[in-house]
Amino acid sequence: MSGGIDALLRAYERHVRLPWASGLSGAEKVWLAVYSPSGSNGQNERRLRFVMPEFDIATTNSGHGWKLIDLTYAFDRWLGAHEYRDAYFANPEALEPALGEFGEYLRRLVEAELIAPEVDEDTVVALLGVGALFGVYRVSQLIEAVSPLIRGRLLVFFPGEKQGNNYRLLDARDGWNYLAVPIVATEG
């Protein structure tokens, strides 16, 4: 069953058509599209990726621009290019102190997209693949670091759960309280 992702898409379609308030802080320009990481038979992540073009269409049909950043392989690319990668493979515990470097790499990667010339106050910049950061870097840290540069809206596809204002990535990590606007799958 793909109803969860389809319902998330419908909720997003409604949300992106609403008027956008101006004068918001960066943190208030963040939208978290929360979905179950596994869903029925573990299909939600694949279904989300399959319908990603429909999120683009919904955005452009509402008169806004769309830019997608897939972070799924960001850690792989960073580690693969690191001068000490072989040492880290031989001794993974030695990698932990270098994860701050990865955070800086990730921040610069997202910031470059947020300030790209084609991105303006009417653009949704979407982050896909944040689940791949689990255990390596906190999504909350990334959002906090880049939020001052958000001109339009930052849409984070968030595999986890929301309880009140508390978000838990992959339903496993201790959650964090955030000011983002939630977009959740609702039927009807």
The 10s digit of each residue's pLDDT in 51-106 is 999 999 999 999 999 999 999 999 989 888 887 768 777 877 877 878 889 899 99
Residue 88 has a pLDDT of 73
Spell out the domain ranges in the chain. 3-18+26-184
Give Cα separations from 110 to 68, 143, 169 (angstroms).
10, 10, 19
Rounded mean pLDDT of 167-178? 58
Look up the pTM and report it: 0.87
Instruction: Compute the average pLDDT of residues 127-155.
Output: 92
pLDDT digits (tens, 9 = 90+) for 118-128: 999 999 999 99
